[in-house]
Amino acid sequence: MSHIELNSFVRDQLEEIIDCAANTETFAQTKLLAAPIREFTHWLMDCLLEGVGVVVHPEFVELGDVLGDHGASLQQIREILEGTRRILFIVIREVSRLSEDAGDPFEIMDASMKLLEVNHSELLERYVINRERKMEETHLQNLEIVLDSIPNSILTYDENGLLTYANHTALELMEVDEDDIIGRHFDNLLPFPGYSRSGKKIWITQELIPLSDGRGSILIGYPIVRELEYYRILQAQTEFIFNAMTEGLVILDKDNIITTFNSRAEQLFGISRNEMVNHKGSLFLEKLQMDDHLSLLHETLRTGSHFTDIQQTISSSDGVERILKTSTRSLMGEDGEILGAIGIFEDLTDRLFLEEQVRRAEKFSVLGKFAAGIAHEIRNPLTTAKGFLQLLPSDSPDPKIRQLKEVVIPEIDRANEIITDFLMIAKPSAPKLKIDSLPNLIDDLAALIQPQAIMQNVELSVIKAEHLSGRVALDRDQMLQVFLNLTNNAIDAMSEGGRLELEMQNCISHVAVHFRDTGVGMDKETIERVFEPFYTRKQNGTGLGLAVSHRIIEGHNGTIHVTSTIGEGSTFTIQLPYS
């Protein structure tokens, strides 16, 4: 893009406009974000005016690290990126208005979107990397806490016999500080082997375990106690370690009896440890409603086969669906017989959701780049055509002229509605939230769709929660649009008649609205893609209705999801938080 000349007065005006626009965003109230983002938008303006190519603003990108360190959610990151985009669009509009020499607005728009896309992608990448790094640091810290809590002394050495780690118990027994012994050879830790620095006898037995990769060894010291007490302590220590794991752990013996079911497994599967330990593994499968041949753990017990990082979707006993990464190993005896099986289960649900949200944010960022230009290019000729058609006399004696006006103008209006929906997906307008009566809105909705339901032989039922637990803030027009999209789709799915039920449900932190129909239902692929833009099974559908609805619900800080069974119907559920 070429250089744009603006006098100092116009530049000052643009800077004031940027400050005013930034102050209207929610992040303007946060000292951590206000100054860096305001400075970033000033920088973007300078880049556009100076004709600078695609470059990265380091301070803005570093916000990804800062926000990750402060525990910002992906929703907050998305609001910040949307805020910078809105501010930049205001700047572009004002540049075109204030300067006759600004050049082609689409060229300015394209340049600005490239700048935004690069900087937004860099910030998102830094944020995700930061989150993963913090998770790894937390894992290492937890491991150190566990090792320091164990009453056994633990020392680790590298391949040269130099000490690399000593837990709290070992340091206490030897009466030394960690800095005094790290890096020393195992023969030179103490003045007299077997005695602490002050000369006390260290009453332990030691076991040296070489590391499997050959890069060192672990020396474990056990207190010298009676054998029964030793095994009791060992069992307690093992159980403590198992329960400190961040993954679920289930161990079966050779008779398919569950011997270990740690705390994380209780959380993942919604089953208490007392219900599982010393019971048959078949009870575990029964609780999860899982067939025996689908269980990788039981397959390992039967055949000795090992599985590593296999992704599975399971429904816990309390009905929560989770995506797990499963790894299994068999326990083998000296003669090669199978003595049991170990299953380790890691919850990927939140991580995959975060990755999907990042991909969705990038997808809509690219979509937003084209939306404004496409809408402008299409709307201009449509507006011109509609204007000329409106000039035609409605009482013209020529029936072809009257027919042209009656048929074409509604089609032009329909095209404009599709363009508006397209823009809503790419760059949704902020909802005008205010406290409103959700039961009254449901009444208005029922009144609107009742005639259509009667014509389609659909029985309409409304179940309202008259007294909500909290207040609900919503944009009435946008929410009515969402409700109409869902009810129209439900009625279309019941071409031969059926039942449509609208139910409000009070929950602890939110209100839920369920739209249940007895239509044709959807398969798994359709459920997974139903909120994607332009995906539709209708012959004359645009595939924008549910995508727009999803964006509107996101703007209300709510959620929308669907469950469906082929031949039985579908249920769309919207959850809106209390204010």
pLDDT of residue 257 exceeding 60, the answer is: yes
- pLDDT for residue 351: 76
- The rounded radius of gyration (Å) of the Cα atoms in the chain is 32
Round the average pLDDT of the chain to a whole number and report it.
Answer: 78
| 249-259 mean pLDDT | 89
Half-sphere exposure (Cβ direction) of 340: Cα atoms closer than 13 Å: 12
Q: Are 70 and 43 in contact (CB under 8 A)?
A: no
User: Helix or strand or coil: residue 255?
Assistant: coil
Looking at residue 211, its pLDDT comes to: 79
- The model carries a pTM of 0.39
Banded pLDDT at 571 (limits 50, 70, 90):
very high
Query: How far is residue 539's CA from residue 556's CA, in Å, rounded to a whole number?
Result: 31
Q: What is the pLDDT of residue 1?
A: 43
Please list the residues that pair with 331 across neighbouring strands: 340
pLDDT above 90: residue 534: no
* pLDDT tier, 23 (very low <50, low <70, confident <90, very high otherwise): low
Q: Of the ranges 135-139, 152-156, 459-463, 566-570, which one carries the lowest mean pLDDT score?
A: 135-139
Tell me if domain 150-233 and domain 434-577 are identical in fold: no
**pLDDT confidence band for 413 (50 / 70 / 90):** confident
CA separation for the pair 317, 310 (Å, rounded): 21
Neighbours of 187 (CB within 10 A): 8
Within the chain, how many helices (H) and strands (E) appear?
A: 19, 16
In the chain, domain spans: 8-136, 150-233, 246-340, 352-426, 434-577
The DSSP string of 381-405 is: HHHHHHHHHHHS-TT-S-HHHHHHH
What local confidence, expressed as pLDDT, does residue 12 receive? 64
Distance CA 489, CA 503 (A): 17
Residue 345 pLDDT more than 60? Answer: yes
Helix (H) or strand (E) holding 93: helix 74-98
Which residues are CB-neighbours of 249 under 8 A, at least 6 positions away? 242, 260, 261, 262, 264, 265, 342, 343, 344, 345
Q: Distance from first CA to last CA of the chain, Å, rounded?
A: 46
Which segments of 244-320 are extended strands (E)?
Answer: 248-253, 258-261, 307-315
Cα–Cα separations (whole angstroms), residue 69 to 41, 125, 141, 142 = 23, 14, 16, 18
Read off the pLDDT of each residue in 4-33 and give the average, rounded to a whole number.
Answer: 62
**Local structure of 543: helix, strand or coil:** coil
Give the residue carrying structure tokens 């008779």.
255
pLDDT of residue 412: 74
CB atoms within 10 A of CB 46: 13
SS3 66: helix
How do residues 115-155 score in pLDDT, each as one tens digit? 777 777 877 888 788 787 777 777 777 777 877 888 888 88
3-class secondary structure, 557: coil
Taking 50 as the threshold, does the pLDDT of residue 237 lie above it?
A: yes
Q: Name the one residue in this structure whose structure tokens are 């979107």.
A: 113
| Options 3.30.420.40, 3.90.1010.10, 3.20.20.80, 3.30.450.20; CATH of 150-233 | 3.30.450.20
Residue 230: pLDDT above 70?
Answer: no
The SS3 assignment for 48 reads helix
- pLDDT one-digit tens code per residue, 280-329: 888 888 777 777 666 888 888 888 888 988 888 877 766 677 888 889 99
Q: Whole-angstrom Cα distance, residue 259 to residue 247? A: 17
Phi, then psi, of 306 in degrees rounded to 5: -105, 145
- State the pLDDT confidence band at 539, using cuts at 50, 70 and 90: low
The answer to whether the beta carbons of residues 435 and 468 sit under 8 Å apart is no
Lookup result for tokens 């690069």: 118
CA distances from 457 to 293, 453, 501 (A): 45, 6, 14
What's the CA gap between 561 and 572, in Å, rounded?
6
Distance CA 543, CA 239 (A): 53
Most confident of 227-236, 349-358, 508-517: 508-517
Residue 268 or residue 366, greater confidence: 268
Query: In this structure, what token pair is assigned to residue 257?
Result: 């009896």
Q: Which of 227-236, 344-353, 479-488 has the highest mean pLDDT?
A: 479-488
Lowest mean pLDDT among 5-9, 49-53, 133-137, 188-192: 5-9
Contact in structure between 441 and 476 (CB atoms under 8 Å): yes
Q: Taking residues 34-54, report their average pLDDT.
A: 68
Q: Is the pLDDT of residue 369 over 60?
A: no
Helix (H, G, I), strand (E, B) or coil at 153: strand
pLDDT tens-digit series, residues 53-92: 667 777 767 777 777 777 777 777 777 777 777 777 777 7
Domain covering 246-340: architecture? 2-Layer Sandwich (3.30)
Q: What is the pLDDT of residue 108?
A: 67
Q: DSSP letter at 375?
A: H
| Calpha distance 540→564 (Å, rounded) | 22
For the record, the structure tokens of 216 come out as 């060192």
**Predicted confidence (pLDDT) at residue 346 exceeds the cutoff of 90:** no
CA distance 189 to 201: 15
Averaged pLDDT, 225-232: 58
Class of the domain covering 434-577: alpha beta
Query: What proportion of the chain, given as a percentage, has pLDDT over 70?
Result: 73
| φ/ψ of residue 439, rounded to 5 | -60, -40
